[in-house]
Every structure is written in C-alpha cells, then in structure tokens.
Chains A and B, each alone.
Chain A
C-alpha cells in the first residue's frame, strides 16, 4: 500500500436469519476497494444494492464472513480492521474514522452544544466551544439551537448535527450515509460546500449518495454498487468544486 488509507480485499457478508429458519441473505460478494488518502469516493446504486452494507462492513459494524480491511493509521501503521481487538477498533472509530449514519442517536435531555463538547477529547473548553460554534456556523445551525435537546430538531437539523458531532473529532477518514437526503436545495448546497472544505483539508471521504448533483460536485471517483457487488467505476473528470 502506497498512499492508500483504506484497502478492502475479498469482502463477503452473508446474514443468517435464525428466526426465519436459517435463511441466508447475501449482502456483499467479493468486494475489493482501495481508497487513496484525500480521495472522495461516492457510492451510488439503487436502494438495497448493498451500499450501506458495504460501508458497515468496512467499519466492522457488520462482521464480514471473509476478507480484510486494511486501514493506515495516523502513525503510519497499517492495521486490519477485521482482526483488530475490539477496544483498538473502537478507539480508531472514536478518533480517526468518522461515520455519519442516517440516524442521530444521542443521549436524551442533553443540549446540542454540550453533546458537541463531549466529543472534544483533550481540548480545553474554550477552544472546544469555539470549534463547536464554528461547525454550527458552517452547517447553518442556528445559535438558538445550542442549548436545545436534539429530539425537537427538524429532520434536516438532526442530519447536520449528526455531521457536526462526527466532525468534532476531526476524523481522517469519513464515512457518510446520504448526507444530503431530504434537505432543501440551499441547505444541501451548504453541506456540499462544507464537505468540499473538509476535502481541501485532506479528509478522505467515502459517501453514499443518491444526489447525483452533489456527486458531480464532490467525487473524484464514483462506484456503482448492485446486488452486493461493485459493478461499475468511473473517475470524474474534475469535481466542480476543486480540491
């Protein structure tokens, strides 16, 4: 591996549904994928194609049946996430690898800004507060929301808070599951702009998108997933928001 930050080889994932008489459902078949440091990769495909399964298998939220997922850490050491001890995996997922799912899951009755500050490990509160407020501003989250419990947020606000919470840890590798779904055009543009800025900072991104306009603006490479396989891949000439 030269400049690859992530390299998956031969990933397979089958679900065995014990409550349905042991029915087997194949989610991923022989997936190999190499992602360079700083690259923005968009995963596209219809619903149920296996995009989320792929992301979750890379993150070890799903435990693949076979295959490897090598990740190059900030210290230059490459580790296989599929065999890493759980505590080390969780530490990596806490700090170096971020994942923005489609659902915001937070502790009830804690305000948005406090949730952000909890993610700021090792920073002093002043700096953390400033970083949190900066993220809020960049994502168009009103300062009025700072002390509000996220359960009352709108769908779009929850989505952006989810992104902000993940970015608080400054991950080197970012996984996104439809970050622009269900957003109005102005907010969507704001998020695209935000992700482009992270890309300029060198963050590597692997994102699931249905929004082809966002893909055109952000992605260096587009990979189509279908039936649990990678079926097509193209390099975009140049993302319209340049790196």
Chain B
C-alpha cells in the first residue's frame, strides 16, 4: 500500500484524572469510568487513510465521530496518542506538536473541514464569495481580482452560479453546505474532512451533494475522511470504514464487509437498524 496520508495512532481524549482501572483495563461499557468518573471521548483510536481514498467513520451520536474531526482540525488537543500527517514537508510526525504557524499552514493548505453545522465554518452575514475569499486571504493571497475569479470558479463548480454576492444567511441549507465545500477546497487541500455532509438535507439535495463530493474527490484526487451514520451514503462513497462506539473502535473493515458481515454486536445493531 502507498504511504498513508493520515495515520491516527492510539488517539485518546479524556476529561478527568483517570485511574488505574480506566487507564489500563477499561472493562466497562460506555465512556465514563465507574471508579473515577473520567470521561473518555476517544480511546485508542488507530487507523490510516491512503492517498485518494474515501475513508468512513461510522457511529451514532456521542460515539466520538465529531470529536475525532475536531482533533484533526486542531479544535481539540488529544490527551494521548498522535496523528501523523505524511504529505507535508517530509511528514509531520505528530500533528499536534506543530507550532501555531505550522498549524495555520496545515489548516490553510493541507487539511480542510466541512462541518455538519455550516455556522461553525461560515460567516453568515458575509456573501458566499466573501466566505470563500476569506480562506484565500488567510492563505496569503492579496489580489482581489484573482481571488474573486477563483472564488467564482469554485462556486460555479459547486453549482452555485450567480450566488457569489448573496449573503450566506439568505441561502438554503444545501447551498450553505456547498459554500462550505467551496471554501474548504479553494486552497486545494490534500485531505478533506466531511462531518455528516448530507444529514438534514432533502433527498434531492442529498443526491446532488453526494454527486458533488464524488466529482470533487475524483477531480482533485483528495483523501476524504467521511463521518456519517448513513450506511447508504457510506456504501456509495467510501471503501473502508471504522465503527466507533463510546469513543472506541468496535470494528473496522471494508464497507461491504461491515454491511454484509457485521461482526461486533454494535455494528449488527446499526446495520439492522438502517432503513
């Protein structure tokens, strides 16, 4: 296999002091240690993502999916383990040991995130184009004409023709999602993090967004980490996935394996609950 783009090695995030029981033999269900009350949002999460791959992260609310995205996006610091990012300056051995300046560069050029809630990424009082241009400004571009052209091109690509000057809060949910994607892609990152990209969208908008993600993935050759609870979306987009429950990986495999032959009790529950 080609060198992975991203490797998460025994990634953990805990809130609390920890004790012998939860640090060495976590023999309890859920993510709260019954002895010391420490909450483990993530625990020993290990996976790798190949270049150009769409990698799925599945689980219900509270499983730790968004926590994982937030760690990859530098919004949270892990308390244990590391993320290795192998495609920048000969490799960043531990993403979270990067300096503030390096983090800015990583966020601007290498790893972009599309949040489930567009408000986390978008300035709602600013135009669609302004939201995209802001990323380019952050990346150091100062040529207004060029930035406007690039933003317009990216918004066209997202099927948002003629919306460049519309305020983001005047756009529909599906359009906001696409502005977010345009913003995430304008600096041509190597990795795109998608947190529930189709949740809450109408079916027709969902189909359009899926097609867009596929096209973007194909055209730009990105690695994508896709967080979803929708097996249908997963099956259409991703090749491999991990299943998270209470911050731990309960199963990993190809998407076909997870759907056709789920082995962990939790995966069986999730798969058999799908519509």
Contacts and interface: CB of A to CB of B under 8 A. Distances in A.
Contacts of B263: 16, 63
Interface string B120-153: 0000000000000000000000000000000000
| B contact residues, range | 20 to 34
**Chain B at the A interface: SS class:** helix
B208 interface: yes
B245 to A, nearest CB: 13
Interface string A116-139: 001000000000000000000000
B207 A61 contact: no
A63 B257 contact: yes
Interface of B: 1, 50, 53, 207-208, 210-211, 214, 218, 235-236, 239-240, 253-254, 256-257, 260-261, 263-265, 268-269, 272
A87 B268 contact: no
Interface of A: 15-19, 56, 60-63, 85-90, 105-110, 118
B234 to A, nearest CB: 12
26 contacts: A15-B261, A16-B263, A17-B268, A18-B265, A19-B269, A19-B272, A56-B261, A60-B254, A60-B257, A61-B254, A62-B260, A63-B261, A63-B263, A86-B240, A86-B253, A87-B53, A87-B240, A88-B1, A90-B240, A105-B235, A105-B236, A106-B236, A107-B236, A109-B207, A109-B208, A109-B211
Nearest to A99: B256
Contacts of B257: 60-63
A166 B272 CA distance: 28
A87 B1 contact: yes
Contacts of B210: 107-108
A90 B239 contact: yes
A108 B50 CA distance: 26
B219 to A, nearest CB: 12
B253 A110 contact: no
A15 B1 CA distance: 30
